[in-house]
A and B are shown apart, each in its own frame.
Chain A
Amino acid sequence: MTSLKIKSLSVKYGRHEAVRDFEENVRPGEWLCLIGPNGAGKSSVLRAIVGLAPHTGSVTIDDTPVKSRSVRRRAQLVAYVPQVPLLPDSMTVHEYVLLGRNPYVLGFSNESREDFMMVEEVLRRLDLVGYSRRELSSLSGGERQRVVIARALAQEAPLLLLDEPTSALDIGHQQQALELVDRMRREHGLTVVSAMHDLTLAGLYSDRLSLMHQGVVVASGPAESVLKADTLAEFYGVSATVHTDGDGTVVVIPKRSDTARGS
């Protein structure tokens, strides 16, 4: 299992500072969820970890700085699923999942037998075997999400970064996708960092939440300590009640304002 240490990470786009002095220590096998309003810097943190955002500070995976590794080696360690993955219309599911094997293909050679076997294996685990010849454009939203996760799993990276993995899905498929990530995490000992908007789901699936606001972490810890009505009011500007179920699930329910209700 893989640990992730981030020290004084700052992400700047021109003059705009998207993330300032981000510190984090993700334990092996842990699921950390970044929450916060739009523009808080969640995606920028994920993009910096995978080397896509210009940043200062250090990102260390298993005690080796990411910057000292080649792009290929980094891709063997970190799998990244962006908010809106680009799915080429006429590509088949099998071709797409096979792309996940790229970090293991040397130079200009082709995928090996092991690579193809790995893809078969992932497709089987995710119940996608029947889809393997289908074109990506013919898939529904839930199927697309499953295929994208399949590609990330084919990458066999111990660290999985998910940017809003459920934002385009209905409530049933949200649950399915997160259950899938959770199962894979347990079976393969993955360390997961995700950015999510749905606070209830974030609290339900992750071990720990980090609340970001304007590029800075303002609260971090288990769901019941971060998801508090006054905290949410302060940083999201939302008026909500927070309710804790008997089993410890923290549920965030937005409140409708009284004036609107009266009219």
Chain B
Amino acid sequence: MFVLLVAVVVGASIGPAGPPAWRVPLELINRLPLISLDSGVSSTEWNLIWQIRMPRVVLAGLVGAMLSTAGAAYQGVFRNPLIDPYLLGVAAGAGLGATIIFTVNRVGTSSWIVDPLPLTAFVGGLGAVALTYLVGTAFGANRSSATLVLAGVAVTSLATALQTFILQRNTDVVRQVYSWILGRLSSATWSDVRLVIPYVILSLGALLIHRRLLDVLRVGDDEAKALGVNVDRVRLIVVLAATLGTAAVVAVSGLIGFVGIIVPHAVRLVAGASYRVVLPVSLVAGAAFLILADIPGRILDNPAETPIGVVTAFLGAPFFLLILRTKQVAE
């Protein structure tokens, strides 16, 4: 919790423009009720902090918390530590939805009353997972989790193929789609935050109350059933909740990879593998991680932004290999 607080303050303090970084924490304290303190931050500068940096920090926190918790939950229900929240096709479906919107509306979406980009990405992501579930349960007579994962792979390939097909015919939007796929928090506003917050809270709540049952699932479907768990129902609810939250954050932030794998794993290394601990700690650690990971992107090649997806992949890929290695050594 303390780390998260520090991350929020640091995230709000650092940026290419605005007041010196050390003044911002003072001003934040000043804004707390009952405390008055002269930080030397002007009201224009405060506007910049509150309207540009804060929503970005809050959104990064929400996205990080959601992806990490969803990742841990997916790893629990599928009993596979290398699974990420994009497994069942959320990412590819959202990508396809975004591609379609960029293609249909090349002039940009600013003239629309409602920004259709998050909406289509959200619908695309949910649609892909629904398709995965339909295919996975229709053909897998025994409804094993393996069939579901394979169906996810098939649906992902299909959505990616469709997306490539559309991009081939509309090469002018490739750049826009590509930068969306890499993930972006730079244009975050309070309305983005308001858009995702209900889904994130609903989803995180549903996942957290299942944390004890996720521990029972660790002994396998059969034994969990024999211990009185309605395995199919738990898996369905957890997958639905994790997917809903993931689709919502993907819709506003694009695809930010590896967070859903590295955060739960780092948590396991430190706090043990029980989901009662892993889920809540991943939530907090994921929020802190993504807020901090968002900072290098702002200053690395100023004034341009390094997409946050690149930063997390840069940190995530080596970490992923490290996990694989330690697992092999352990075996």
Contact = CB atoms under 8 A, between A and B. Distances in A.
A73 B273 CA distance: 28
A95 B226 contact: no
Interface residues of A, number: 31
Contact of A86 (B212, B220, B229, B230): B220
Contacts, number: 65
Interface in A93-124: 95-96, 99-100, 102-103, 105, 108, 110
Given A105-B212, A108-B209, A108-B210, A51 B229 contact: no
A75 B223 contact: no
B213 to A, nearest CB: 8
Contacts of B219: 85-88, 96, 99
Contacts of A47: 222
A259 interface: no
Interface in A167-220: none
B216 A102 contact: yes
A71 interface: yes
Interface in B2-30: none
Nearest to B212: A110
B298 interface: no
B305 interface: no
Nearest to A88: B218
Given A71-B229, A75-B228, A99 B216 contact: yes
Contacts of A108: 209-210, 212-213
A23 B300 CA distance: 75
A72 B231 CA distance: 12
A78 interface: yes
A82 B225 CA distance: 12
A75 B220 contact: no
A85 B215 CA distance: 15
A253 interface: no
B215 A52 contact: no
Contacts of B213: 108
A72 B228 contact: yes
A155 interface: yes
Interface string A57-90: 0000000000000011111101110100111111
B215 A82 contact: no
A89 B330 CA distance: 10
A78 B228 CA distance: 10
Given A90-B273, A108-B209, A85 B223 contact: yes
Contacts of B220: 86
A86 B226 contact: no
A50 interface: yes
B203 to A, nearest CB: 15
Given A108-B209, A108-B210, A110-B212, A91 B229 contact: no
B228 A82 contact: no
Contacts of B229: 71, 102
B226 A50 contact: yes
A52 B142 CA distance: 11
Contacts of A78: 226
Given A80-B223, A82-B222, A88-B273, A71 B230 contact: yes
A86 B274 contact: no
Contact of B227 (A73, A90, A102, A110): A102
Nearest to B327: A89
Contact of A95 (B215, B227, B330): B215
B272 interface: yes
A51 B225 contact: yes
Contact of A52 (B216, B218, B225): B225
Nearest to A99: B216
Contacts of A88: 218-219, 273
20 contacts: A51-B225, A52-B226, A71-B229, A74-B228, A75-B226, A78-B226, A80-B223, A80-B226, A82-B223, A86-B218, A86-B220, A87-B219, A89-B330, A90-B268, A90-B273, A91-B218, A95-B215, A95-B274, A99-B227, A100-B227
Interface of A: 47, 50-52, 71-76, 78-80, 82, 85-91, 95-96, 99-100, 102-103, 105, 108, 110, 155
Closest 7 CB pairs of A and B: A75-B228, A103-B228, A86-B220, A90-B273, A72-B228, A80-B226, A108-B209
